[in-house]
Chains A and B, each alone.
Chain A
Protein backbone atom coordinates (compact mmCIF):
# COMPACT_ATOMS: atom_id res chain seq x y z
CA UNK A 1 0.00 0.00 0.00
CA UNK A 2 2.90 2.41 0.62
CA UNK A 3 3.11 5.00 -2.10
CA UNK A 4 6.22 4.96 -4.29
CA UNK A 5 6.47 8.73 -4.47
CA UNK A 6 6.26 10.34 -1.07
CA UNK A 7 6.17 14.04 -1.86
CA UNK A 8 6.80 15.26 1.67
CA UNK A 9 9.57 14.13 3.93
CA UNK A 10 9.10 13.48 7.62
CA UNK A 11 6.07 12.06 9.35
CA UNK A 12 5.30 14.78 11.89
CA UNK A 13 2.93 16.71 9.65
CA UNK A 14 1.01 13.60 8.50
CA UNK A 15 0.54 12.59 12.13
CA UNK A 16 -0.80 16.06 12.91
CA UNK A 17 -3.38 15.58 10.17
CA UNK A 18 -4.66 12.36 11.70
CA UNK A 19 -4.24 13.30 15.36
CA UNK A 20 -7.51 15.19 16.03
CA UNK A 21 -9.62 12.47 14.45
CA UNK A 22 -7.73 9.71 16.19
CA UNK A 23 -7.86 11.31 19.62
CA UNK A 24 -11.59 11.87 19.29
CA UNK A 25 -12.23 8.36 18.00
CA UNK A 26 -9.99 6.74 20.59
CA UNK A 27 -11.51 8.72 23.44
CA UNK A 28 -15.14 8.15 22.59
CA UNK A 29 -15.25 4.80 20.79
CA UNK A 30 -12.05 2.80 20.83
CA UNK A 31 -10.95 2.99 24.47
CA UNK A 32 -14.49 2.76 25.87
CA UNK A 33 -15.06 -0.35 23.74
CA UNK A 34 -11.98 -1.93 25.29
CA UNK A 35 -13.23 -0.61 28.63
CA UNK A 36 -16.45 -2.55 28.20
CA UNK A 37 -14.41 -5.72 28.07
CA UNK A 38 -12.61 -4.75 31.30
CA UNK A 39 -15.79 -3.64 33.07
CA UNK A 40 -17.49 -6.92 32.23
CA UNK A 41 -15.25 -8.64 34.79
CA UNK A 42 -16.16 -6.18 37.55
CA UNK A 43 -19.05 -5.29 39.71
CA UNK A 44 -19.51 -1.52 39.65
CA UNK A 45 -21.98 0.26 41.88
CA UNK A 46 -22.35 4.03 41.86
CA UNK A 47 -20.86 5.46 45.05
CA UNK A 48 -19.65 2.07 46.27
CA UNK A 49 -16.71 1.59 43.94
CA UNK A 50 -15.87 -1.58 42.09
CA UNK A 51 -14.36 -5.02 42.56
CA UNK A 52 -13.26 -7.90 40.38
CA UNK A 53 -15.76 -10.71 40.06
CA UNK A 54 -14.10 -12.76 37.32
CA UNK A 55 -16.50 -14.52 35.00
CA UNK A 56 -19.40 -14.15 37.40
CA UNK A 57 -21.27 -11.64 35.19
CA UNK A 58 -21.07 -13.99 32.24
CA UNK A 59 -22.26 -17.07 34.10
CA UNK A 60 -25.04 -14.95 35.55
CA UNK A 61 -26.10 -13.78 32.12
CA UNK A 62 -25.95 -17.15 30.39
CA UNK A 63 -27.30 -19.41 33.12
CA UNK A 64 -29.39 -17.38 35.54
CA UNK A 65 -30.85 -14.44 33.66
CA UNK A 66 -34.03 -15.68 31.97
CA UNK A 67 -34.90 -12.23 30.69
CA UNK A 68 -31.58 -11.97 28.90
CA UNK A 69 -32.00 -15.35 27.24
CA UNK A 70 -35.53 -14.39 26.24
CA UNK A 71 -34.22 -11.10 24.84
CA UNK A 72 -31.71 -12.97 22.67
CA UNK A 73 -34.51 -15.17 21.34
CA UNK A 74 -36.61 -12.05 20.71
CA UNK A 75 -33.69 -10.48 18.90
CA UNK A 76 -33.40 -13.44 16.58
CA UNK A 77 -37.15 -13.34 15.99
CA UNK A 78 -36.88 -9.65 15.21
CA UNK A 79 -33.96 -10.39 12.88
CA UNK A 80 -35.91 -12.90 10.80
CA UNK A 81 -39.01 -10.73 10.76
CA UNK A 82 -37.03 -7.71 9.57
CA UNK A 83 -35.34 -9.79 6.88
CA UNK A 84 -38.83 -10.32 5.48
CA UNK A 85 -40.53 -6.97 6.07
CA UNK A 86 -37.46 -4.87 5.31
CA UNK A 87 -35.12 -6.70 2.93
CA UNK A 88 -37.50 -8.99 1.05
CA UNK A 89 -40.22 -6.37 0.76
CA UNK A 90 -37.61 -3.81 -0.28
CA UNK A 91 -36.41 -6.19 -3.01
CA UNK A 92 -39.94 -6.72 -4.33
CA UNK A 93 -40.64 -2.99 -4.45
CA UNK A 94 -37.27 -2.29 -6.08
CA UNK A 95 -37.96 -4.83 -8.82
CA UNK A 96 -41.37 -3.27 -9.44
CA UNK A 97 -40.09 0.29 -9.41
CA UNK A 98 -37.33 -0.74 -11.79
CA UNK A 99 -39.94 -1.54 -14.47
CA UNK A 100 -39.97 2.22 -15.11
CA UNK A 101 -43.54 2.89 -15.96
CA UNK A 102 -44.25 6.62 -15.96
CA UNK A 103 -44.38 7.98 -12.42
CA UNK A 104 -42.64 5.03 -10.79
CA UNK A 105 -39.64 7.13 -9.81
CA UNK A 106 -42.02 9.16 -7.67
CA UNK A 107 -42.87 6.08 -5.60
CA UNK A 108 -39.18 5.40 -5.20
CA UNK A 109 -38.74 8.85 -3.69
CA UNK A 110 -41.79 8.49 -1.45
CA UNK A 111 -40.87 5.10 0.00
CA UNK A 112 -37.59 6.44 1.34
CA UNK A 113 -39.22 9.25 3.35
CA UNK A 114 -39.39 7.52 6.79
CA UNK A 115 -35.59 7.28 6.85
CA UNK A 116 -35.57 11.00 7.62
CA UNK A 117 -37.53 10.68 10.85
CA UNK A 118 -36.11 9.91 14.24
CA UNK A 119 -37.13 6.51 15.56
CA UNK A 120 -38.62 8.19 18.62
CA UNK A 121 -41.00 10.23 16.49
CA UNK A 122 -41.93 7.18 14.45
CA UNK A 123 -42.49 5.12 17.58
CA UNK A 124 -44.75 7.77 19.11
CA UNK A 125 -46.78 8.13 15.89
CA UNK A 126 -47.28 4.38 15.72
CA UNK A 127 -48.33 4.23 19.35
CA UNK A 128 -51.32 6.25 18.19
CA UNK A 129 -51.97 3.82 15.39
CA UNK A 130 -51.89 0.86 17.76
CA UNK A 131 -53.73 2.50 20.67
CA UNK A 132 -56.19 -0.11 22.04
CA UNK A 133 -59.14 2.30 22.39
CA UNK A 134 -58.63 5.24 20.07
CA UNK A 135 -55.98 3.88 17.71
CA UNK A 136 -56.80 4.21 14.05
CA UNK A 137 -56.04 0.53 13.44
CA UNK A 138 -58.65 -0.71 15.92
CA UNK A 139 -61.11 1.95 14.80
CA UNK A 140 -60.66 0.75 11.24
CA UNK A 141 -61.42 -2.80 12.34
CA UNK A 142 -64.48 -1.63 14.21
CA UNK A 143 -65.93 0.36 11.35
CA UNK A 144 -65.26 -2.52 8.99
CA UNK A 145 -67.36 -4.71 11.28
CA UNK A 146 -64.58 -6.79 12.81
CA UNK A 147 -65.19 -5.61 16.35
CA UNK A 148 -64.02 -8.93 17.75
CA UNK A 149 -60.63 -8.43 16.08
CA UNK A 150 -59.90 -5.24 18.03
CA UNK A 151 -56.77 -5.98 19.96
CA UNK A 152 -54.33 -4.35 22.41
CA UNK A 153 -51.52 -4.68 19.86
CA UNK A 154 -48.62 -3.41 21.95
CA UNK A 155 -49.87 -4.69 25.28
CA UNK A 156 -50.40 -8.32 24.39
CA UNK A 157 -47.49 -10.80 24.54
CA UNK A 158 -48.40 -12.36 21.19
CA UNK A 159 -48.51 -9.16 19.18
CA UNK A 160 -46.12 -6.72 20.88
CA UNK A 161 -43.02 -7.89 18.99
CA UNK A 162 -44.72 -8.37 15.59
CA UNK A 163 -46.32 -4.93 15.90
CA UNK A 164 -42.91 -3.32 16.36
CA UNK A 165 -41.53 -5.39 13.46
CA UNK A 166 -44.18 -3.90 11.18
CA UNK A 167 -43.08 -0.40 12.16
CA UNK A 168 -39.48 -1.39 11.51
CA UNK A 169 -40.49 -2.46 8.01
CA UNK A 170 -42.36 0.81 7.56
CA UNK A 171 -39.14 2.69 8.20
CA UNK A 172 -36.47 0.59 6.53
CA UNK A 173 -38.13 -1.13 3.55
CA UNK A 174 -37.54 2.03 1.53
CA UNK A 175 -33.88 2.04 2.52
CA UNK A 176 -33.31 -1.49 1.25
CA UNK A 177 -35.37 -0.69 -1.83
CA UNK A 178 -32.87 2.09 -2.61
CA UNK A 179 -29.92 -0.27 -2.17
CA UNK A 180 -31.46 -2.87 -4.47
CA UNK A 181 -32.46 -0.19 -6.94
CA UNK A 182 -28.89 1.10 -7.06
CA UNK A 183 -27.79 -2.50 -7.65
CA UNK A 184 -30.29 -2.86 -10.48
CA UNK A 185 -28.96 0.32 -12.09
CA UNK A 186 -25.53 -1.26 -12.29
CA UNK A 187 -26.80 -4.22 -14.33
CA UNK A 188 -25.90 -3.52 -17.97
CA UNK A 189 -29.00 -2.83 -20.07
CA UNK A 190 -27.56 -5.02 -22.82
CA UNK A 191 -27.83 -8.11 -20.61
CA UNK A 192 -31.54 -7.68 -20.04
CA UNK A 193 -32.11 -6.73 -23.67
CA UNK A 194 -30.36 -9.79 -25.03
CA UNK A 195 -32.46 -11.95 -22.73
CA UNK A 196 -35.56 -10.23 -24.10
CA UNK A 197 -34.43 -10.88 -27.69
CA UNK A 198 -33.94 -14.53 -26.80
CA UNK A 199 -37.60 -14.58 -25.93
CA UNK A 200 -37.58 -14.28 -22.13
CA UNK A 201 -40.69 -12.80 -20.59
CA UNK A 202 -40.48 -9.86 -18.20
CA UNK A 203 -40.83 -12.19 -15.26
CA UNK A 204 -38.15 -14.55 -16.59
CA UNK A 205 -35.78 -11.60 -17.04
CA UNK A 206 -36.24 -10.66 -13.41
CA UNK A 207 -35.95 -14.22 -12.19
CA UNK A 208 -32.92 -15.28 -14.25
CA UNK A 209 -31.04 -12.04 -14.95
CA UNK A 210 -31.80 -9.42 -12.32
CA UNK A 211 -32.08 -11.49 -9.16
CA UNK A 212 -28.88 -13.55 -9.67
CA UNK A 213 -26.95 -10.35 -10.38
CA UNK A 214 -28.26 -8.79 -7.18
CA UNK A 215 -26.65 -11.45 -5.03
CA UNK A 216 -23.88 -9.21 -3.81
CA UNK A 217 -26.25 -6.39 -2.88
CA UNK A 218 -28.43 -8.97 -1.15
CA UNK A 219 -25.48 -10.09 0.97
CA UNK A 220 -24.77 -6.49 2.01
CA UNK A 221 -28.44 -5.92 2.85
CA UNK A 222 -28.62 -9.06 4.95
CA UNK A 223 -25.48 -7.99 6.79
CA UNK A 224 -26.80 -4.51 7.54
CA UNK A 225 -30.21 -5.80 8.51
CA UNK A 226 -28.98 -8.53 10.84
CA UNK A 227 -26.34 -6.43 12.60
CA UNK A 228 -28.93 -3.64 12.85
CA UNK A 229 -31.38 -6.05 14.46
CA UNK A 230 -28.98 -6.63 17.35
CA UNK A 231 -28.48 -2.91 17.86
CA UNK A 232 -32.23 -2.26 17.96
CA UNK A 233 -33.10 -0.02 20.87
CA UNK A 234 -35.00 3.20 20.13
CA UNK A 235 -38.21 1.78 18.71
CA UNK A 236 -38.59 -0.80 21.45
CA UNK A 237 -37.76 1.66 24.21
CA UNK A 238 -40.42 4.07 22.95
CA UNK A 239 -43.16 1.69 21.84
CA UNK A 240 -42.98 -1.01 24.50
CA UNK A 241 -41.31 0.56 27.53
CA UNK A 242 -40.07 -1.85 30.20
CA UNK A 243 -39.72 -4.62 27.66
CA UNK A 244 -43.37 -4.86 26.80
CA UNK A 245 -45.76 -7.36 28.33
CA UNK A 246 -43.73 -9.84 30.41
CA UNK A 247 -40.53 -8.96 28.49
CA UNK A 248 -42.05 -10.40 25.32
CA UNK A 249 -40.58 -7.54 23.31
CA UNK A 250 -37.40 -7.15 25.36
CA UNK A 251 -34.30 -6.66 23.21
CA UNK A 252 -30.72 -7.29 24.29
CA UNK A 253 -30.06 -3.56 24.03
CA UNK A 254 -33.09 -2.49 26.07
CA UNK A 255 -32.33 -5.03 28.79
CA UNK A 256 -28.69 -3.97 28.84
CA UNK A 257 -29.59 -0.32 29.29
CA UNK A 258 -32.08 -1.12 32.03
CA UNK A 259 -29.68 -3.36 33.93
CA UNK A 260 -26.85 -0.85 33.65
CA UNK A 261 -28.62 2.45 34.23
CA UNK A 262 -31.89 1.67 36.02
CA UNK A 263 -30.63 -1.11 38.27
CA UNK A 264 -27.10 0.33 38.48
CA UNK A 265 -25.43 -2.94 37.43
CA UNK A 266 -22.79 -1.32 35.22
CA UNK A 267 -20.49 -4.33 35.24
CA UNK A 268 -23.25 -6.76 34.41
CA UNK A 269 -24.48 -4.45 31.65
CA UNK A 270 -20.97 -4.45 30.22
CA UNK A 271 -20.97 -8.24 30.08
CA UNK A 272 -24.25 -8.14 28.16
CA UNK A 273 -22.72 -5.53 25.83
CA UNK A 274 -19.73 -7.81 25.20
CA UNK A 275 -22.01 -10.72 24.30
CA UNK A 276 -24.05 -8.49 22.01
CA UNK A 277 -20.97 -7.05 20.30
CA UNK A 278 -19.61 -10.56 19.84
CA UNK A 279 -22.82 -11.53 18.04
CA UNK A 280 -22.55 -8.49 15.75
CA UNK A 281 -18.89 -9.25 15.00
CA UNK A 282 -19.72 -12.89 14.36
CA UNK A 283 -22.32 -11.94 11.76
CA UNK A 284 -19.84 -9.58 10.09
CA UNK A 285 -17.21 -12.31 10.09
CA UNK A 286 -19.59 -14.74 8.39
CA UNK A 287 -20.22 -12.09 5.74
CA UNK A 288 -16.49 -11.53 5.23
CA UNK A 289 -15.86 -15.25 4.86
CA UNK A 290 -18.71 -15.47 2.36
CA UNK A 291 -17.25 -12.59 0.34
CA UNK A 292 -13.78 -14.07 0.47
CA UNK A 293 -14.93 -17.48 -0.70
CA UNK A 294 -16.93 -15.94 -3.53
CA UNK A 295 -13.89 -14.04 -4.72
CA UNK A 296 -11.62 -17.07 -4.49
CA UNK A 297 -14.04 -19.44 -6.19
CA UNK A 298 -15.37 -17.20 -8.92
CA UNK A 299 -12.32 -15.24 -9.99
Chain B
Protein backbone atom coordinates (compact mmCIF):
# COMPACT_ATOMS: atom_id res chain seq x y z
CA UNK B 1 0.00 0.00 0.00
CA UNK B 2 1.58 3.27 -1.04
CA UNK B 3 1.23 5.39 2.05
CA UNK B 4 -0.44 8.80 1.64
CA UNK B 5 0.40 10.21 -1.71
CA UNK B 6 1.11 13.85 -0.95
CA UNK B 7 -1.82 16.00 0.01
CA UNK B 8 -2.99 18.34 -2.67
CA UNK B 9 -2.21 22.05 -2.33
CA UNK B 10 -4.92 24.01 -0.61
CA UNK B 11 -7.01 26.10 -2.92
CA UNK B 12 -9.43 28.47 -1.33
CA UNK B 13 -12.90 27.35 -2.32
CA UNK B 14 -16.23 27.21 -0.64
CA UNK B 15 -16.64 23.39 -0.79
CA UNK B 16 -13.17 22.92 0.71
CA UNK B 17 -14.00 25.25 3.55
CA UNK B 18 -17.26 23.40 4.09
CA UNK B 19 -15.38 20.11 4.36
CA UNK B 20 -12.96 21.58 6.91
CA UNK B 21 -15.87 22.93 8.90
CA UNK B 22 -17.60 19.54 8.82
CA UNK B 23 -14.53 17.61 9.93
CA UNK B 24 -13.71 20.09 12.68
CA UNK B 25 -17.30 20.02 13.94
CA UNK B 26 -17.37 16.21 13.98
CA UNK B 27 -14.06 15.88 15.78
CA UNK B 28 -15.00 18.59 18.28
CA UNK B 29 -18.27 16.81 19.09
CA UNK B 30 -16.40 13.54 19.25
CA UNK B 31 -13.63 14.65 21.57
CA UNK B 32 -15.68 16.87 23.80
CA UNK B 33 -16.82 14.06 26.15
CA UNK B 34 -13.18 13.09 26.66
CA UNK B 35 -12.02 16.66 27.21
CA UNK B 36 -14.93 17.33 29.55
CA UNK B 37 -14.13 14.18 31.49
CA UNK B 38 -10.51 15.24 31.92
CA UNK B 39 -11.07 18.76 33.16
CA UNK B 40 -14.07 17.85 35.29
CA UNK B 41 -11.95 15.25 37.08
CA UNK B 42 -9.89 18.19 38.41
CA UNK B 43 -12.91 19.57 40.27
CA UNK B 44 -12.77 19.31 44.03
CA UNK B 45 -16.23 17.89 44.81
CA UNK B 46 -19.02 16.15 42.98
CA UNK B 47 -21.19 19.09 44.05
CA UNK B 48 -19.10 21.38 41.89
CA UNK B 49 -19.68 19.07 38.92
CA UNK B 50 -23.42 18.86 39.52
CA UNK B 51 -23.84 22.59 40.01
CA UNK B 52 -22.10 23.61 36.83
CA UNK B 53 -21.43 20.61 34.58
CA UNK B 54 -19.91 22.64 31.75
CA UNK B 55 -17.77 25.01 33.81
CA UNK B 56 -14.04 24.75 34.32
CA UNK B 57 -12.73 23.81 37.79
CA UNK B 58 -12.79 26.69 40.29
CA UNK B 59 -9.19 26.18 41.31
CA UNK B 60 -6.26 24.32 39.82
CA UNK B 61 -4.58 23.38 43.09
CA UNK B 62 -2.15 20.75 41.85
CA UNK B 63 -1.53 19.09 45.21
CA UNK B 64 -5.26 18.58 45.77
CA UNK B 65 -5.70 17.18 42.26
CA UNK B 66 -2.75 14.87 42.82
CA UNK B 67 -4.25 13.74 46.12
CA UNK B 68 -7.55 13.06 44.37
CA UNK B 69 -5.85 10.92 41.76
CA UNK B 70 -3.75 9.15 44.39
CA UNK B 71 -6.92 8.33 46.34
CA UNK B 72 -8.50 6.87 43.20
CA UNK B 73 -5.42 4.84 42.41
CA UNK B 74 -4.94 3.34 45.90
CA UNK B 75 -8.24 3.47 47.81
CA UNK B 76 -10.28 3.05 44.63
CA UNK B 77 -8.23 -0.05 43.78
CA UNK B 78 -7.55 1.22 40.26
CA UNK B 79 -3.90 0.31 40.78
CA UNK B 80 -4.85 -3.30 41.54
CA UNK B 81 -7.10 -3.48 38.50
CA UNK B 82 -4.37 -2.11 36.24
CA UNK B 83 -1.87 -4.62 37.60
CA UNK B 84 -4.33 -7.49 36.99
CA UNK B 85 -4.94 -6.32 33.45
CA UNK B 86 -1.21 -6.03 32.84
CA UNK B 87 -0.60 -9.57 34.15
CA UNK B 88 -3.44 -11.13 32.18
CA UNK B 89 -2.61 -9.24 28.99
CA UNK B 90 1.09 -10.06 29.20
CA UNK B 91 0.56 -13.78 29.78
CA UNK B 92 -2.03 -13.93 26.99
CA UNK B 93 0.33 -12.15 24.64
CA UNK B 94 3.19 -14.60 25.26
CA UNK B 95 0.98 -17.66 24.88
CA UNK B 96 -0.68 -16.41 21.71
CA UNK B 97 2.53 -15.33 20.01
CA UNK B 98 4.30 -18.62 20.73
CA UNK B 99 1.41 -20.97 19.95
CA UNK B 100 0.13 -19.16 16.87
CA UNK B 101 3.50 -18.69 15.20
CA UNK B 102 4.32 -22.36 15.72
CA UNK B 103 0.96 -23.45 14.34
CA UNK B 104 1.15 -21.03 11.42
CA UNK B 105 4.58 -22.40 10.55
CA UNK B 106 3.21 -25.92 10.44
CA UNK B 107 0.19 -24.86 8.41
CA UNK B 108 2.27 -23.03 5.83
CA UNK B 109 5.48 -25.09 5.58
CA UNK B 110 4.98 -28.60 6.93
CA UNK B 111 2.52 -31.35 6.24
CA UNK B 112 0.69 -33.83 8.43
CA UNK B 113 -2.48 -35.85 7.88
CA UNK B 114 -5.57 -33.68 8.34
CA UNK B 115 -3.62 -30.44 8.18
CA UNK B 116 -6.09 -28.60 5.98
CA UNK B 117 -9.10 -29.85 7.93
CA UNK B 118 -7.61 -28.55 11.15
CA UNK B 119 -6.81 -25.23 9.54
CA UNK B 120 -10.42 -24.97 8.37
CA UNK B 121 -11.58 -25.63 11.93
CA UNK B 122 -9.46 -22.70 13.08
CA UNK B 123 -11.04 -20.58 10.34
CA UNK B 124 -14.51 -21.40 11.62
CA UNK B 125 -13.28 -20.07 14.96
CA UNK B 126 -13.08 -16.63 13.35
CA UNK B 127 -16.85 -16.26 13.34
CA UNK B 128 -17.76 -17.91 16.64
CA UNK B 129 -19.06 -15.22 19.02
CA UNK B 130 -18.04 -15.27 22.68
CA UNK B 131 -21.60 -15.97 23.79
CA UNK B 132 -21.56 -19.22 21.80
CA UNK B 133 -19.12 -20.92 24.19
CA UNK B 134 -19.58 -18.87 27.32
CA UNK B 135 -21.83 -21.17 29.35
CA UNK B 136 -20.04 -24.52 28.83
CA UNK B 137 -16.69 -22.77 29.31
CA UNK B 138 -17.98 -21.49 32.63
CA UNK B 139 -19.03 -25.03 33.59
CA UNK B 140 -15.68 -26.40 32.41
CA UNK B 141 -13.69 -23.92 34.49
CA UNK B 142 -15.93 -24.63 37.47
CA UNK B 143 -15.17 -28.35 37.17
CA UNK B 144 -11.45 -27.62 36.87
CA UNK B 145 -11.59 -25.25 39.87
CA UNK B 146 -10.19 -22.48 37.71
CA UNK B 147 -13.05 -20.03 38.19
CA UNK B 148 -12.04 -16.77 39.82
CA UNK B 149 -8.36 -17.15 38.97
CA UNK B 150 -6.20 -15.28 36.48
CA UNK B 151 -5.64 -18.52 34.59
CA UNK B 152 -9.18 -18.85 33.33
CA UNK B 153 -8.97 -15.40 31.74
CA UNK B 154 -5.54 -16.06 30.27
CA UNK B 155 -6.63 -19.39 28.77
CA UNK B 156 -9.90 -18.04 27.42
CA UNK B 157 -8.33 -14.91 25.92
CA UNK B 158 -5.56 -16.97 24.31
CA UNK B 159 -8.01 -19.47 22.86
CA UNK B 160 -10.21 -16.77 21.35
CA UNK B 161 -7.28 -14.83 19.89
CA UNK B 162 -5.69 -17.87 18.23
CA UNK B 163 -7.80 -18.24 15.05
CA UNK B 164 -7.18 -14.73 13.75
CA UNK B 165 -3.52 -14.83 14.82
CA UNK B 166 -2.88 -18.09 13.02
CA UNK B 167 -4.76 -16.88 9.98
CA UNK B 168 -2.72 -13.68 9.70
CA UNK B 169 0.63 -15.30 10.44
CA UNK B 170 0.01 -18.11 7.98
CA UNK B 171 -0.95 -15.64 5.23
CA UNK B 172 2.29 -13.79 5.95
CA UNK B 173 4.42 -16.94 5.94
CA UNK B 174 2.93 -18.27 2.71
CA UNK B 175 4.30 -15.18 0.97
CA UNK B 176 7.81 -15.58 2.39
CA UNK B 177 10.31 -16.98 -0.12
CA UNK B 178 11.33 -20.55 0.60
CA UNK B 179 14.96 -20.17 -0.49
CA UNK B 180 16.17 -19.32 2.99
CA UNK B 181 14.60 -22.24 4.82
CA UNK B 182 15.56 -24.64 2.01
CA UNK B 183 19.20 -23.66 2.21
CA UNK B 184 19.04 -23.95 6.01
CA UNK B 185 17.64 -27.47 5.62
CA UNK B 186 20.45 -28.38 3.26
CA UNK B 187 22.88 -27.09 5.89
CA UNK B 188 21.31 -29.54 8.33
CA UNK B 189 18.75 -27.47 10.21
CA UNK B 190 15.81 -29.30 11.78
CA UNK B 191 12.31 -27.88 11.44
CA UNK B 192 12.64 -26.39 14.93
CA UNK B 193 15.86 -24.71 13.83
CA UNK B 194 14.27 -23.33 10.67
CA UNK B 195 11.38 -22.02 12.71
CA UNK B 196 13.50 -20.38 15.41
CA UNK B 197 16.37 -19.07 13.29
CA UNK B 198 14.78 -18.25 9.94
CA UNK B 199 11.03 -17.83 10.26
CA UNK B 200 10.62 -15.98 13.56
CA UNK B 201 13.06 -13.17 12.65
CA UNK B 202 11.32 -12.75 9.29
CA UNK B 203 7.79 -12.50 10.64
CA UNK B 204 8.32 -9.79 13.28
CA UNK B 205 6.10 -7.26 11.44
CA UNK B 206 3.23 -9.76 11.42
CA UNK B 207 3.94 -10.64 15.06
CA UNK B 208 3.58 -6.95 15.92
CA UNK B 209 0.18 -6.85 14.23
CA UNK B 210 -0.95 -9.98 16.03
CA UNK B 211 0.44 -8.70 19.31
CA UNK B 212 -1.44 -5.44 19.04
CA UNK B 213 -4.89 -6.87 18.53
CA UNK B 214 -4.30 -9.64 21.05
CA UNK B 215 -3.10 -7.23 23.72
CA UNK B 216 -5.85 -4.68 23.12
CA UNK B 217 -8.44 -7.42 23.03
CA UNK B 218 -7.30 -8.85 26.36
CA UNK B 219 -6.92 -5.40 27.91
CA UNK B 220 -10.45 -4.32 27.01
CA UNK B 221 -12.35 -7.62 27.28
CA UNK B 222 -15.34 -7.50 29.58
CA UNK B 223 -17.90 -10.29 29.16
CA UNK B 224 -15.68 -13.25 30.09
CA UNK B 225 -14.14 -11.35 32.98
CA UNK B 226 -17.61 -10.47 34.24
CA UNK B 227 -18.66 -14.11 34.32
CA UNK B 228 -15.41 -15.70 35.53
CA UNK B 229 -14.04 -13.26 38.11
CA UNK B 230 -15.58 -12.40 41.44
CA UNK B 231 -12.72 -11.47 43.80
CA UNK B 232 -12.05 -7.80 44.08
CA UNK B 233 -8.29 -8.49 44.01
CA UNK B 234 -8.44 -10.26 40.64
CA UNK B 235 -10.67 -7.92 38.65
CA UNK B 236 -9.30 -6.60 35.39
CA UNK B 237 -9.64 -2.96 34.49
CA UNK B 238 -13.02 -2.91 32.66
CA UNK B 239 -14.61 -5.03 35.38
CA UNK B 240 -12.93 -3.04 38.12
CA UNK B 241 -14.06 0.28 36.71
CA UNK B 242 -17.62 -0.92 36.70
CA UNK B 243 -17.26 -1.97 40.34
CA UNK B 244 -15.62 1.37 41.11
CA UNK B 245 -18.61 3.05 39.48
CA UNK B 246 -20.89 1.02 41.73
CA UNK B 247 -19.08 2.08 44.91
CA UNK B 248 -18.74 5.76 44.01
CA UNK B 249 -22.03 6.40 42.26
CA UNK B 250 -22.42 9.90 43.62
CA UNK B 251 -18.77 10.86 43.99
CA UNK B 252 -18.44 12.09 40.45
CA UNK B 253 -15.01 13.61 40.88
CA UNK B 254 -13.45 10.29 41.90
CA UNK B 255 -15.34 8.50 39.17
CA UNK B 256 -14.05 10.90 36.54
CA UNK B 257 -10.51 10.55 37.95
CA UNK B 258 -10.78 6.79 37.49
CA UNK B 259 -12.03 7.12 33.93
CA UNK B 260 -9.38 9.69 33.07
CA UNK B 261 -6.53 7.61 34.47
CA UNK B 262 -7.54 4.71 32.27
CA UNK B 263 -8.40 6.68 29.13
CA UNK B 264 -5.60 9.19 28.66
CA UNK B 265 -2.70 6.67 28.61
CA UNK B 266 -4.53 4.61 25.99
CA UNK B 267 -4.98 7.69 23.79
CA UNK B 268 -1.32 8.59 24.27
CA UNK B 269 -0.24 5.09 23.27
CA UNK B 270 -2.47 5.31 20.22
CA UNK B 271 -1.06 8.65 19.11
CA UNK B 272 2.50 7.35 19.43
CA UNK B 273 1.97 4.04 17.63
CA UNK B 274 -1.03 5.01 15.52
CA UNK B 275 0.16 3.45 12.26
CA UNK B 276 0.87 0.06 13.81
CA UNK B 277 -2.29 0.12 15.90
CA UNK B 278 -4.55 0.96 12.97
CA UNK B 279 -2.90 -1.86 11.05
CA UNK B 280 -3.35 -4.26 13.95
CA UNK B 281 -7.00 -3.47 14.56
CA UNK B 282 -8.04 -3.54 10.90
CA UNK B 283 -5.92 -6.59 10.00
CA UNK B 284 -8.72 -9.08 10.51
CA UNK B 285 -11.16 -7.19 8.33
CA UNK B 286 -8.81 -6.37 5.48
CA UNK B 287 -7.46 -9.87 5.03
CA UNK B 288 -10.87 -11.40 4.47
Which of B69-77, B202-210, B219-227 interfaces with chain A?
Answer: B219-227
Given contacts A112-B278, A125-B33, contact A118 B238 (CB under 8 A): yes
As a 0/1 sequence over residues 92 to 125 of chain B, the CB contacts with chain A under 8 angstroms (1 = contact) are 0001001110110111011111011010011001
Residues of A within 8 A of B122 (CB): 21, 25
Given contacts A14-B191, A143-B54, A257-B227, contact A280 B127 (CB under 8 A): yes
Q: How far is the CB of A70 from chain B (nearest CB, A)?
A: 18
Interface residue tally on B, bucketed by range: 35 or more
- Residues 270-299 of A at the B interface (beta carbon under 8 Å): 270, 273-274, 276-277, 280-281, 284
With A and B bound together, what is the CA distance between A32 and B216 in angstroms?
Answer: 24
Q: Is the C-beta of A209 less than 8 angstroms from some C-beta in chain B?
A: no
Q: Is the C-beta of A119 less than 8 angstroms from some C-beta in chain B?
A: yes
The reply to whether A182 and B259 contact each other, CB–CB distance below 8 Å, is no
The reply to whether A280 and B111 contact each other, CB–CB distance below 8 Å, is no
Q: Which listed residue (A7, A18, A277) contacts B102, Cβ 8 A?
A: A18
The reply to whether A227 and B269 contact each other, CB–CB distance below 8 Å, is no
Q: How far is the CB of A272 from chain B (nearest CB, A)?
A: 8
- Residues 231-278 of A at the B interface (beta carbon under 8 Å): 231, 233-234, 237-238, 252-253, 256-257, 260-261, 266, 269-270, 273-274, 276-277
Q: Is the C-beta of A134 less than 8 angstroms from some C-beta in chain B?
A: yes
Q: Which listed residue (A17, A31, A96) contacts B22, Cβ 8 A?
A: A96
Q: How far is the CB of B157 from chain A (nearest CB, A)?
A: 9
The reply to whether A29 and B102 contact each other, CB–CB distance below 8 Å, is no
Residues of A within 8 A of B281 (CB): 115, 175, 178
Q: Is the C-beta of A53 less than 8 angstroms from some C-beta in chain B?
A: no
Closest A residue to B9 using CB positions: A102
Residues of B within 8 A of A276 (CB): 129, 131-132
With A and B bound together, what is the CA distance between A99 and B281 in angstroms?
Answer: 24
Q: How far is the CB of B27 from chain A (nearest CB, A)?
A: 5
Closest B residue to A260 using CB positions: B135
Q: Which listed residue (A116, A133, A179, A234) contacts B277, Cβ 8 A?
A: A116
With A and B bound together, what is the CA distance between A202 and B15 in angstroms?
Answer: 11
22 CB-based A-B contacts, threshold 8 Å: A14-B106, A14-B110, A25-B162, A28-B159, A29-B125, A30-B125, A31-B140, A32-B133, A32-B134, A32-B137, A99-B8, A101-B8, A117-B263, A125-B34, A134-B53, A175-B282, A182-B286, A185-B2, A220-B285, A233-B223, A261-B138, A277-B129
Besides A105-B7, A128-B37, A143-B54, 9 more A-B contacts (Cβ < 8 Å) are: A14-B191, A17-B106, A103-B7, A117-B266, A120-B220, A120-B239, A179-B286, A237-B222, A261-B138
Interface residues of B (CB under 8 A from A): 1-2, 4-10, 15-16, 19-20, 22-23, 26-27, 30-34, 36-37, 49-50, 53-54, 95, 98-100, 102-103, 105-107, 109-113, 115-116, 118, 121-122, 125, 127-140, 155-156, 158-160, 162-163, 166, 181-182, 185, 190-192, 195, 216, 219-220, 222-223, 226-227, 237-239, 241-242, 245, 252, 255-256, 259, 262-263, 266-267, 269-271, 274, 277-278, 281-282, 285-286, 288
